[in-house]
Amino acid sequence: MRKYLKFTIFVFLVGLIVPAPAKAYLDPGSASFLFQILIAGALGTLFYIKTIIRWIKNLFTGNLGKKDSETENENEKE
């Protein structure tokens, strides 16, 4: 009896581990949605990096408390 229980548990666990073939379909709408997510992620990352670089630049130039528009106005005056 114990042998059959171990065998049943083994077959059950192997059934969970071995994947069944997926019969999936990707239509053009889902592919374009995935493409849109990738582009938005890339642009968001670039914006974040640009913000960090600007913050570090302002930290070393002494313009940390000023907004970008104030910094640009001072640069135009010079």
Q: What is the pLDDT of residues 26-55, one digit of tens each?
A: 777 888 899 999 999 999 999 999 999 998
Which sequence spans correspond to the domains of the chain?
27-78
Residue 58 confidence (pLDDT): 87
Show Cβ contacts of residue 58 under 8 Å, excluding neighbours closer than 6 positions. 64, 66, 71
- Given a cut of 80, whether residue 64 has pLDDT beyond it is no
Question: Is residue 44 left, alpha or beta, with left meaning phi > 0 and alpha meaning psi from -120 to 50?
Answer: alpha
Nearest 5°: phi and psi at 23? -105, 75
Residue 3 confidence (pLDDT): 78
Residue 76 confidence (pLDDT): 62
The rounded mean pLDDT for the chain is: 82
